[in-house]
Amino acid sequence: MSNDNNKKEVDLRSPLEKGRLLLSITEFCQCVGISRVTYYAWKREGIIPAEGFETRLGAGIVRISFEAMLAWMRARGAPVGDELLAVQQQIERRKEHSHIAVGGR
């Protein structure tokens, strides 16, 4: 394993290929192409469910089941309820931010 930038290399094989059915938050983020910062922002905004999505295995050990990740990804095509509201609010915030950034120059 090379360590050019003092970053931990992550095995990019799927959890199933590694014989595991649980992902760390870092592995989940890599699978869906987001940063950990985005993960926690989406969790605060309700885009990632606050309940039932993460499994706590002990002090500081949090995992996401492969099944939960797949269900979450399928639901991205049709969010409902609180999640739909959170997505709509996020879109509005981005529009406002873009308007402020463009108008403020």
**Predicted pLDDT of residue 1:** 47
**Cβ–Cβ < 8 Å for 64, 56:** no
Provide the token pair at 29.
């983020």
Task: Express each pLDDT in 39-89 by its tens digit.
Answer: 999 998 888 887 888 888 888 899 998 888 888 888 877 767 777 777 778
Q: What is the residue-averaged pLDDT of the chain?
A: 78
Query: Distance between CA 15 and CA 23 in Å, rounded?
Result: 7
Within 10 A of 29 (CB to CB), how many other CB atoms are there?
19
Q: Is the pTM of this model over 0.85?
A: no
Domains of the chain: 22-78 (1.10.1660)
